[in-house]
Structure 1
Amino acid sequence: MSPTPKQPVTDDSIKVRQVSHYQFTWVAGDAGKRGTWTLQLVLDAGAWEEVLTIEADDADNLQDLLSTAHTVFYDVSRQTLMFGTTKVGHH
């Protein structure tokens, strides 16, 4: 017997997706005001997209992490980025 999902599996029911691509943007603010940074995440090769508004320091740190991690996942419902995976018992 194979398990039967309690609900149909849809795009909206998938909560954790793999980051395929990303793009930072910066939009100038009004004169004398700070600009706005955003991070666009392309998930599961375009099956889903997410745009996050972030602080400048976060943009810098995320650029470092995204450019060096081999695998990155994004939890859509919790708005959480997860960098890489490590097998239990390994460093």
Structure 2
Amino acid sequence: MSDYTEKIQVRQVTDIHSNWSEQGDEAPGKFSFQLVLDNGAEERVIRPTSEDADVLMDLFAAGESLYFDLGRGVLLFRDIT
């Protein structure tokens, strides 16, 4: 990797894959989102609570574009309508 790409700390989220997994009989399931960054240059998985997953789904739909700060683990939503 070049010095330039190693310094990039914020990448655009270009695709999102969602997942729900069973946690056992009568136990609540768990959600996760796989964030594909810069068309596959990197990936991150986040595991929100069910309440946070619901809010994230709304924000994913409402934002014009989405970025992920690798150093801080923060999602950045642009132009939310």
- TM-score class, shorter-chain normalisation, is 0.7 to 0.9
Aligned residue among 4, 16, 40 for 1:9: 4
Structure 2 residue runs without a partner (length 5+):
none
Between Structure 1 and Structure 2, which shows a larger proportion of helix residues? 2
- TM-score norm. by structure 1 comes to 0.77
Identity %: 35
Letter in 2 for 1:33: A
- Alignment coverage as a number of residue pairs: 78
Query: Which residue is 1:79 aligned to?
Result: 73
Matched residue, 2:55:
61
Counterpart in the other structure of 2:18: 24
In structure 2, what is the Cα distance between the partners aligned to 1:13 and 1:40?
A: 22
Larger Rg: 1
Match in the other structure for 1:88: none
1:33 and 2:27 aligned: yes
User: Normalized per residue, which structure has more strand?
Assistant: 2
Taking only aligned residues, the RMSD between alpha carbons, in angstroms, comes to 1.6
TM-score scaled by length of structure 2: 0.86
